[in-house]
Amino acid sequence: MSKRDFLTVTDFTRSELDSLFDLAVRMKRNRSGLRPFGGGSAALVFKKPSLRTRASFDVGVHELGGHPMYITDQEIGLGKRESVYDIAQVLSRFVRLIMIRTFEHSEVEELAAAATVPVVNGLTNSYHPCQIIADLLTVYEHKGHIDGLTISYLGDGNNVAHSWLKAAERYDITLRIGTVAENDPDPEILDHARTHAIGRVEVVREPLAAADGADVLYTDVWASMGQKDRAEENRRRLAAFQINEELLAAAAQDAIVLHCLPANRGEEITDAVMDGPQSRVFDEAENRLHAQKAIMHALLAGFDE
Ligand code: CP
Ligand code: NVA
C-alpha cells in the first residue's frame, strides 16, 4: 500500500470518515489500547504557535506507542536553512509520521510529495482539517448523527471555514456561512464546495438569518495567525456576527456552540455563551486528541483496529 497523507478533509472518503469516527470513539473509551507507532517517532513541525495542536499530537503520539519530537521552524528554517525536499527526505529516515503547521498550503503539499512517511496538516493559511475532524466527532457525540444538520459558521471566511466547506463535500449538511462579502471564503474553495456539496452551502449576510434554526453555531477568531494586521477592520465588519445570547436564541433550542479556540472572548463570542449550557468548546478541544489519534492510526495501520 502506498503511503497516505492527510492534508484536507476530502483526502478521506465518506466510508473512511465513518470508520475513522468509529475508531476515534473506541480510542476515546480506551485511551492507550492501540500502539501503531510501535516505539517509532513522529516529527511535529511548527511554524506558528499552538496549544491544542501541539498538546494533542504530543500526547496522542505518546499514547499510540510513539515518541513525539517537537521541532520549531526557528531551528530547521524550512525552505530557508534547508529546502523542504531535503528536510522531508531526512525526517523520513528518522520518523514514521510528520505533522506540520505552517503558512502556505503549498509548502505542506511539497513536504508530503517529498516525504516517504505520512504527512498530516496541522493547519495552513488555507485549511485546518484535523480541527474539523474533531469538530465532526463532537457533533456526532452530542447529536448522534451529522447528516441532516444545519451548521452555521459565523465570522471570518478563513482556513477553518474552508475545512468546513470540504466537510460539506462528504456529509449531507446545510453549511451556512454568515459573514460580510469582504470576509467571504476563498471563491475557488467556495465554488468547488457549492458544486460538490452533498447537502447545501449557503452564504448569508444577515446575522440572525444565518443563525436561524441552526443545530450548531460555530465561530473562530476574526483575525487568524499571520493576518493580525486585519484585526481592526475585521472587528468592525464582523461585529454583528458575534455569537451572543441574541444570536443563540435564533438557533435551534438544542443547538450546541463550538469554537476551535483560541478565542478572543468578547469579540467573536461572549463569555455568557462560551461558558453557557449550550457550549461544547472544551469537549471539542479534548476531541482533538481522540480524532488525531484515529487519523494517525488510519495512516499508519489502517482504519480498523
Ligand atoms: N484549535 C487549534 O488548532 O488550537 P491551537 O492553535 O492552540 O493549536
Ligand atoms: N483561523 C485560526 C485558527 C486557529 C486554530 C488561525 O489560523 O489562526
| H helices present in the chain, as ranges | 14-29, 52-63, 73-76, 84-94, 105-114, 129-143, 159-167, 187-196, 207-211, 231-238, 245-250, 271-274, 281-301
What average pLDDT score do residues 26-44 get?
94
Query: Helices 14-29 and 129-143, interaxial angle, to 10°?
Result: 70
Q: Is 283 helix (H, G, I), strand (E, B) or coil?
A: helix
pLDDT 10s digits, 109-133: 999 999 999 999 999 999 999 999 9
- Where residue 304 falls among pLDDT bands split at 50, 70, 90? confident
Out of 53, 103, 123, mutate this one to test ligand 2's pocket (max ligand atoms within 8 Å of CB): namely 123
Contact 63, 36 (CB under 8 A): no
The atom of ligand 2 lying closest to the CA of 52 is: 5
Q: Ligand 1 pocket, 249 CB below 6 A?
A: no
Return mean pLDDT, the chain.
Answer: 97
Residues with catalytic function? 101, 128, 131, 220, 260, 288
Q: 26 CA to middle of ligand 1, Å?
A: 24
| pLDDT over 90 (residue 1) | no
Identify the CATH number of the domain defined by range 131-282: 3.40.50.1370
For the ranges 23-37, 100-114, 170-184, the lowest mean pLDDT is seen at 23-37
pLDDT of residue 123: 98
Distance between CA atoms of residues 291 and 293, nearest Å: 6
Residue 231 has pLDDT above 80, yes or no: yes
Q: Where are the domains of the chain?
A: 9-128+285-301, 131-282
Query: Residue with the nearest Cα to atom 2 of ligand 2?
Result: 224
pTM (predicted TM-score): 0.98
**What is the homologous superfamily of the domain 9-128+285-301 according to CATH?**
Aspartate/ornithine carbamoyltransferase (3.40.50.1370)
Average pLDDT over residues 208-215: 98
- State residue 79's pLDDT score: 95
**Which ligand has its closest atom nearest to the C-alpha of 102?**
2
Residue closest to 104 by CA, chosen among 192, 185, 7: 7
